[in-house]
Amino acid sequence: MTNFDVEVLLNIHDNEIIVGIALTEESLHRRNITHFGPTTLRSTLAYGMLRLCAPQPTDIIVDPMCGTGAIPIEGATEWSNCYHIAGDNNPLAVNRAANNISSLLTKNQIKEGKPSWGLPIDAIQWDICNLPLRTGSVDIIVTDMPFGKRMGSKKRNWNLYPACLREMSRVCRPGTGRAVLLTQDKKCFTKALSGMGHVWRKVHTVWVNIGGLHAAVYLLKRTSQAFVHPSEQDKELLGNEYKNDE
């Protein structure tokens, strides 16, 4: 349809109906982003993912695979009473995220007409499977995981996804922590999550269309069980075997 007067979106889910009306002539999916990567996430979807996890004041929110930083940048803009950390293992991605943060800061300074103290956000290069964060120090994890198409590979995801979920469970606060994870590799994610039932509980799934790809956004809740490092589990098993031998 073209040359319409009003754009109306109707979303029907079970007994719930949500009606949305477009308030702007142009799409907002590229707002706050000036440096794009090969798989830049739409800002509108980033906002929806953040809203799904209901951030509270003083929450520490981490995107461990931030890419261009769309999610943490949206978070720092809309939830400025939280602290946002953008991280990635690719130095080019971290550089793009840092440039986007800098551009947003300049934009805010121009808008306010005075120097700004900054935004509650930082970008850092790290390894998703070995995060430089304390155990149980993060309230919310929100990230766009590799689909295995334009970034990464389906084969690598079978090792990456379980390792990611394990490390996320370590840094996420037991009992209250939550994670919102986007992926198109649903089979691999479901398999990885099935082995993490002691630390993650799936609360909700939202189906989304990403450039024609049928993807899913998973809302997970961190269980109250404390994280046990695999090496410590091995020691415990060896200890039990030793006792049994005695």
CATH of the domain at 188: 3.40.50.150
Confirm if 144 and 71 have CB atoms less than 8 A apart. yes
6 within a domain of the structure (yes/no): no
Residue 116 belongs to some domain of the structure: yes
* Predicted local distance difference test score (pLDDT) of residue 239: 47
Answering whether pTM is above 0.85, one says: no
Q: What is the pLDDT of residue 217?
A: 98
pLDDT tens column, 82-96: 999 999 999 999 999
What are the φ/ψ torsions at residue 198 (nearest 5 degrees)?
-80, -20
**The pLDDT of residue 243:** 45
Q: Residue 167's closest CA among 237, 54, 65? A: 65
Does residue 9 fall inside a structural domain? no
Domain assignment present for 2: no
Looking at the structure of the chain, the number of domains it has is 1
Query: Does residue 68 belong to any structural domain of this protein?
Result: yes
In a domain, 19, yes or no: no
Q: 87 lies in which domain range?
A: 30-245
Q: Answer whether residue 13 is part of any domain.
A: no
Which of the residues in the chain have pLDDT under 50? 234-246
Structural domain contains residue 15: no
